[in-house]
Amino acid sequence: MLESVQIKKIRKPHVRRPNAELQREINCPFPDCDRVYGQQQALNLHLQRKHATGHKTTREQSAKGLVETYAKGLRIGKDRLRELPNIPPGLVQEMIEVHSMHISPSQLRLLEEDISELNRIHAEQIQSDIMRVKQENVIEPTAV
Ligand SMILES: [Zn+2]
């Protein structure tokens, strides 16, 4: 019942609606990726599969945890950084706004620097996975 009421309201201009129902173009937040999606859910799947971000809640908790850590004046080590899921550009800022978090500009800069490094680590990892798959395909005879 609730569901049908919400669906009817979708066409009206000022009604807030869940992200999954929005029909618009959403760009993948990674700068070296040009994929565009009509739904948040489709982008989420893409982020998970192509950018190793893990589930939405996983990466949001990870980003939030990083802000909390850096806000205390701490910095995560390179080895620990490698173990984290990839974090899309802009997610840290989103978590700061959504959770009204406070972090000094210098610590935020440090965090953004480390997230760029995290993005680079994952991009490298994904690229080497692609190369490995390609090589395996060359070695194995094609069935067709
Ligand atoms: Zn992408």
CB under 5 Å of ion ligand 1: residues: 28, 30, 33, 35
Rounded Cα distance, 140 and 144, in Å: 12
Q: Which domain holds residue 41?
A: 18-124
CA 47 – ligand 1 centroid, Å? 6
CA 51 – ligand 1 centroid, Å? 6
Give residue 115's identity as a one-letter amino acid code: I
CA 90 – ligand 1 centroid, Å? 14
CA 72 – ligand 1 centroid, Å? 31
Q: Which of 26, 18, 60, 31 is nearest to 43 (CA)?
A: 26
**Could you tell me if residue 53 is inside a domain?**
yes
Number of neighbours of residue 125 by Cβ within 10 angstroms? 13
**Could you tell me if residue 58 is inside a domain?**
yes
CA 3 – ligand 1 centroid, Å? 31
CA 30 – ligand 1 centroid, Å? 6
- pTM to 2 decimal places: 0.74
DSSP labels, the chain: -HHHHHHHHTTSTT----GGG--S-EE-SSTT---EESSHHHHHHHHHHHH----HHHHHHHHHHHHHHHHTT----HHHHHTSPP--TTHHHHHHHHTT----HHHHHHHHHHHHHHHHHHHHHHHHHHHHHHHHHHHSPP--
CA 36 – ligand 1 centroid, Å? 8
pLDDT in 10s for each residue of the chain, 144 residues: 455 555 555 555 665 555 555 567 999 999 989 999 999 999 999 999 999 999 999 999 999 999 999 999 999 999 999 999 999 999 999 999 999 999 999 999 999 999 999 999 999 988 888 888 888 877 666 565
**Could you tell me if residue 118 is inside a domain?**
yes
**Could you tell me if residue 5 is inside a domain?**
no
Domain count, the chain: 1
CA 114 – ligand 1 centroid, Å? 20
